[in-house]
Amino acid sequence: MSMEDLLDKPLTPWMTGGGINGDIVLSSRIRLARNLEGVPFPNRADATRLTDIVTQVRESVGDLKKTDKHEYMFVEMEKLSPLERQILVEKHIISPNLAGEPTNRALIVRDDAAVSIMINEEDHLRIQCLVPGLDLKSASDLANDVDDIIEAKHCFAYNEQVGYLTACPTNVGTGLRASVMVHLPALVLARQISRVMSAATQLGFTVRGLYGEGTEAIGNIFQFSNQLTLGHSEQEIIENLQAVAQQVVEQERSARQALLTGSAEALADRVWRAYGVLCYARIISGQEALTLLSEVRLGIDSGIITGVPATIFNELLVTSRPNFLQKIACRAYTDPVERDRLRAQLIREKFKEERKNA
Amino acid sequence: MSMEDLLDKPLTPWMTGGGINGDIVLSSRIRLARNLEGVPFPNRADATRLTDIVTQVRESVGDLKKTDKHEYMFVEMEKLSPLERQILVEKHIISPNLAGEPTNRALIVRDDAAVSIMINEEDHLRIQCLVPGLDLKSASDLANDVDDIIEAKHCFAYNEQVGYLTACPTNVGTGLRASVMVHLPALVLARQISRVMSAATQLGFTVRGLYGEGTEAIGNIFQFSNQLTLGHSEQEIIENLQAVAQQVVEQERSARQALLTGSAEALADRVWRAYGVLCYARIISGQEALTLLSEVRLGIDSGIITGVPATIFNELLVTSRPNFLQKIACRAYTDPVERDRLRAQLIREKFKEERKNA
């Protein structure tokens, strides 16, 4: 997948995989924060230093290619248009921060987008690995491989007592953030989600919504991640989050089972209505689209809706985001209604296509 | 159309006609109240008298057949099941009153249901004529023909000074009630309906909803009728209502035009969403069904939805009524959800059929 494909195609390859508990866990993610020894953190480094860091890290692209069957691409943030950068944000490849201030910043990304390395974000390096389903171990193994390859050539800022040094104290130690993105429509419908969220918070995990501000979870998608890294080993963090996510998956499964047993008809009515609206609406907001898509996905996962692939959810999740829509339309929107119209049209056409194929 | 057909088929022939302004006016109705001279009104007559009235009026069936290319059927109310009587109510062929107390009551009905004569309702005879569209003159001509044929053999209670005598003083005089059933979704959407209703009320007309209690109008269907008959000639009443209805039609047309000009997209979104829900919902209440069907009909009339006949509205308006549903299911419902499920199924199948034909 070329850079153009990464920007144009709604589904990055890692999204189509399914993976372990892939009907509930959309992705597992590991992020490592690393800094070069003896170089000021990006927020204290001048332009020359920053350019120097980009140049240094870029040298690792060749090493990464050598040890992997995948291609790696290097791109300076300033070479991309603001729209292209926003699409990378919507696809979870880069952070909003990197997109917002592109000067002297760069990205190394694997052709399937499963590995991305942001250069000169908050830290000199932010290594991110994404795998489908609930599999933090695989994501972690991948991140460690990448980490090792880069560390072979570069010296990272490391302190024997505290571990990796990072720009923000919350990342000091392992520099690790592990997270899982889960789709929990049944727990939301059954109003059990706040209980689940507060339990996870008490265990030291952060729960946030996808694209949402704070705890607002559009499309019933939640991100569980570790709060702290200091004082915990990498293995501990990963195992704990994996265990919590496993429990959340089981609770979502029981909630789905309970819905199917106790209110199968109401559930069928709900998911089919969502399907009907997505098939025919002419104007649809991003938030409504995600809510309805979530319900349709629940319908597919529960066997209520057949003949529609579950990936329609993952695909439209990206396609219906504002910047991606703008890219498809090849122009900026002056009117938000126009965007809602294009979103409805895209969704409608996608569903029509799937109905034809079914 | 036999009595069985009248009960089984959702559309009575007069409904499919279209008629003048048939996209807005569903039907024009004339009802004449008549009583036999020298016989107590039904509420003061004993069983023998009532039976006698039924026998006398029945004799006119032969005369009606002779002067009309249509068939006329006679049926004693007690010979019908309670469910069958309720279906006749839902189809506007008889009144809830006649259905509720069937003893010594009867009905004469033309095979297309455009003419029906209730015997021993509030008055000895209630002659009703229904035509599609806005055409009170035709309905009135038809009613007068029927009236003349019956009067040729029977003497009606009539006073030179006040006119026809009736059980209830509000009907004394012409014994005439003229009414039109209009579909006013755009006036409702534009929140202009209460203004229209109060204007009509001030001019001496009553406005009620279809099937609704009081002014509640399910499915945006309203019935406009004259309040008084005494002191007005038949012609006056009919011409006045025809003029008022004509104005309402024009106001609905401007409201539709305004919607199509000012908020075409919002309108399209609304009617297509209604269409989507009707195509896929699994449970649907009678009220919601009528609301959504009304929106779809507006979409058809406005040219937004194509390939679906406007009569789907008239048909499902009847089909989705509780008693008709019960007849289709061939059994009584113990569970209201079961009825809502059957309603959704029927509507869904009807739309699927139309989509295939389109």
Instruction: State the 10-residue block means of pLDDT for chain B, 358 residues long.
Output: 79 73 93 96 94 95 90 95 90 91 95 94 96 95 96 94 91 92 93 92 87 64 85 89 96 96 93 97 93 94 91 84 79 79 93 82
Are the C-beta atoms of residues B150 and B60 closer than 8 Å to each other?
A: yes
Q: Are residues B187 and B309 in the same domain?
A: no
Q: Which residue in A has a C-alpha nearest to residue B279's C-alpha?
A: A276
> Cβ contact (<8 Å) for B269 and A279?
no
d(Cα A259, Cα A246) in Å, to the nearest integer? 20
Higher pLDDT, B319 or A193: A193
> Cβ contact (<8 Å) for A281 and B273?
yes
d(Cα A317, Cα A321) in Å, to the nearest integer? 7
**Best residue in B259, B260, B267, B272 to probe A by mutation, most A CBs within 10 Å?**
B272
- Using a CB-CB cut-off of 8 Å, the residues of chain B touching A282 are 265, 268-269, 272-273
**Tokens, residue A235:** 């293995």
Query: Can you tell me the mean pLDDT for A174-180?
Result: 93
d(Cα B153, Cα B169) in Å, to the nearest integer? 25
Q: Which residue in B has a C-alpha nearest to residue A345's C-alpha?
A: B269
Q: Which residues pair with A224 in a beta bridge?
A: A180, A207
- Using a CB-CB cut-off of 8 Å, the residues of chain A touching B337 are 265
Tell me what pLDDT residue B232 has: 81
Q: Which of residues 261-300 of A touch B (CB under 8 A)?
A: 265-266, 268-269, 272-273, 275-283
Q: Are residues A100 and A138 in the same domain?
A: yes
Mean pLDDT of chain A: 90
> Cβ contact (<8 Å) for B282 and A265?
yes
Shortest Cα distance from A253 to chain B (angstroms)? 23
**Position A95 confidence tier, pLDDT thresholds 50, 70, 90:** very high
Q: Are residues A120 and A185 in the same domain?
A: yes
Q: Are residues A240 and A270 in the same domain?
A: no
d(Cα B37, Cα B166) in Å, to the nearest integer? 11
**Tokens, residue A115:** 């590995």
Q: Which residue has the tokens 């996608």?
A: A350
Q: Are residues A245 and A273 in the same domain?
A: no
Return the ∠ at Cα A132 (arms to A112 and A339), rounded to 5°: 70
State how far Cα A15 lies from the chain centre: 10
Tell me what pLDDT residue A146 has: 96
> Cβ contact (<8 Å) for B275 and A280?
yes
**Secondary structure string (H, E, C) spanning chain A:** CCHHHHHHCCCCHHHHCCCCCCCCEEEEEEEEEECECCCCCHHHCCHHHHHHHHHHHHCHHHHHHHCCCCCEEEEEHHHCCHHHHHHHHHCCCCCHHHHHCCCCCEEEEECCCCEEEEECCCCCEEEEEEEECCCHHHHHHHHHHHHHHHHCCCCECEECCCEECCCCHHHCECCEEEEEEEECHHHHHCCCHHHHHHHHHHCCEEEEECCCCCCCCHHHEEEEEECCCCCCCHHHHHHHHHHHHHHHHHHHHHHHHHHHHHCHHHHHHHHHHHHHHHHHCCCCCHHHHHHHHHHHHHHHHCCCCCCCCCHHHHHHHHHCCHHHHHHHHCCCCCCHHHHHHHHHHHHHHHHHHHHHHC
Q: Which of residues 96-135 of A touch B (CB under 8 A)?
A: none
Which of B256, B277, B294 marks a domain boundary? Answer: B256
Which of A227, A256, A285 marks a domain boundary? Answer: A256
Query: Can you tell me whether residue B134 is helix, strand or coil?
Result: coil
Q: Which residues pair with B176 in a beta bridge?
A: B32
> Cβ contact (<8 Å) for A281 and B277?
no
> Cβ contact (<8 Å) for B280 and A282?
no
Nearest to B280 among A273, A281, A283 (CB): A273
Q: Are residues A37 and A152 in the same domain?
A: yes
**Non-local CB neighbours of B326 within 8 Å, separated by 6+ positions:** B83, B332, B333, B339
Cα-Cα-Cα-Cα torsion B110, B115, B121, B122, nearest 10 degrees, comes to -170
**Tokens, residue B58:** 């029945």
**Non-local CB neighbours of B96 within 8 Å, separated by 6+ positions:** B89
Q: Are residues A279 and A245 in the same domain?
A: no
Closest CA to A138 of A169, A87, A178, A171: A178
Return the ∠ at Cα A86 (arms to A82 and A87), rounded to 5°: 120
Are the C-beta atoms of residues A105 and A77 closer than 8 Å to each other?
A: yes
- Containing structural domain, residue B132: 3-256
Instruction: Provide the CATH number for the domain around residue B25.
Output: 3.30.590.10
B322-329 and B311-319 helices cross at what angle (nearest 10)?
80
Which of A256, A291, A321 marks a domain boundary? Answer: A256
Q: Please report how many Cα atoms fall inside a 13 Å half-sphere around the Cα of residue A75, on the Cβ side.
A: 24
Are the C-beta atoms of residues B164 and B173 closer than 8 Å to each other?
A: yes
Q: Are residues A189 and A85 in the same domain?
A: yes
> pLDDT per residue over A55-65, tens digit each?
999 999 999 99
Look at chain B and report how many structural domains it folds into.
2
Q: Please report the beta strands in chain B, taking only residues with DSSP state E, as ranges in sequence order.
A: 25-34, 72-76, 106-110, 115-119, 125-132, 158-159, 163-164, 176-183, 205-209, 221-226
**Non-local CB neighbours of A57 within 8 Å, separated by 6+ positions:** A106, A108, A117, A119, A124, A125, A150, A154
Q: How far is CA A93 from CA A85, A165, B251, in A?
A: 9, 23, 56
> Cβ contact (<8 Å) for B278 and A280?
no
Are the C-beta atoms of residues A119 and A142 closer than 8 Å to each other?
A: no
d(Cα B70, Cα B115) in Å, to the nearest integer? 10
Are the C-beta atoms of residues A140 and A117 closer than 8 Å to each other?
A: no
Q: Are residues A222 and A280 in the same domain?
A: no
Are the C-beta atoms of residues A122 and A168 closer than 8 Å to each other?
A: yes
> Cβ contact (<8 Å) for A281 and B266?
no
Q: Are residues B229 and B130 in the same domain?
A: yes
**Tokens, residue B261:** 């000009």
Tell me what pLDDT residue A216 has: 59
**Non-local CB neighbours of B203 within 8 Å, separated by 6+ positions:** B240, B244
Shortest Cα distance from A337 to chain B (angstroms)? 9
Q: Are residues A283 and A344 in the same domain?
A: yes
Q: Which residue in B has a C-alpha nearest to residue A276's C-alpha?
A: B276
A336-357 and A286-301 helices cross at what angle (nearest 10)?
20
Shortest Cα distance from B352 to chain A (angstroms)? 13
Q: Picking from A76-80, A145-149, A331-335, B271-275, which range would have the lowest pLDDT averaged per residue?
A: A331-335
Q: Are residues B348 and B208 in the same domain?
A: no
Q: Which residue in B has a C-alpha nearest to residue A341's C-alpha?
A: B265
Are the C-beta atoms of residues A95 and A121 closer than 8 Å to each other?
A: yes
> Cβ contact (<8 Å) for B279 and A283?
no
Are the C-beta atoms of residues B279 and B348 closer than 8 Å to each other?
A: yes
> pLDDT per residue over A308-358, tens digit each?
888 888 888 888 888 888 877 776 666 788 889 999 999 999 999 887 776
Are the C-beta atoms of residues B48 and B100 closer than 8 Å to each other?
A: no
ipTM, two decimals, is 0.83
- Using a CB-CB cut-off of 8 Å, the residues of chain A touching B277 are 273, 276-277
- Using a CB-CB cut-off of 8 Å, the residues of chain B touching A278 are 276
Return the ∠ at Cα B187 (arms to B181 and B192), rounded to 5°: 120
Q: Given CB atoms, is A344 within the 8 Å cutoff of chain B?
A: yes
Q: Given CB atoms, is A351 within the 8 Å cutoff of chain B?
A: no
- Using a CB-CB cut-off of 8 Å, the residues of chain A touching B272 are 280-282
Quote the pTM value.
0.86
Q: Which residues pair with A158 in a beta bridge?
A: A164
d(Cα B273, Cα A281) in Å, to the nearest integer? 5
d(Cα A180, Cα A207) in Å, to the nearest integer? 10
B233, containing H or E segment: none
> Cβ contact (<8 Å) for A276 and B278?
yes
> Cβ contact (<8 Å) for B266 and A283?
yes
Other beta carbons less than 10 A from residue B180's beta carbon: 28
Tell me what pLDDT residue A269 has: 96
- Using a CB-CB cut-off of 8 Å, the residues of chain B touching A337 are 265
**Position A2 confidence tier, pLDDT thresholds 50, 70, 90:** confident
| Greatest pairwise CA separation for chain B in angstroms | 64
Tell me what pLDDT residue B147 has: 96
d(Cα A50, Cα A43) in Å, to the nearest integer? 10
Q: Given CB atoms, is B341 within the 8 Å cutoff of chain A?
A: yes
Residues counted in chain B = 358
Q: Which residues pair with A75 in a beta bridge?
A: A107
**Secondary structure string (H, E, C) spanning B52-96:** HHHHHHHCHHHHHHHCCCCCEEEEEHHHCCHHHHHHHHHCCCCCH
Nearest to B282 among A268, A279, A283 (CB): A268
- Using a CB-CB cut-off of 8 Å, the residues of chain A touching B283 are 265-266, 269
Q: Which residue in B has a C-alpha nearest to residue A338's C-alpha?
A: B265
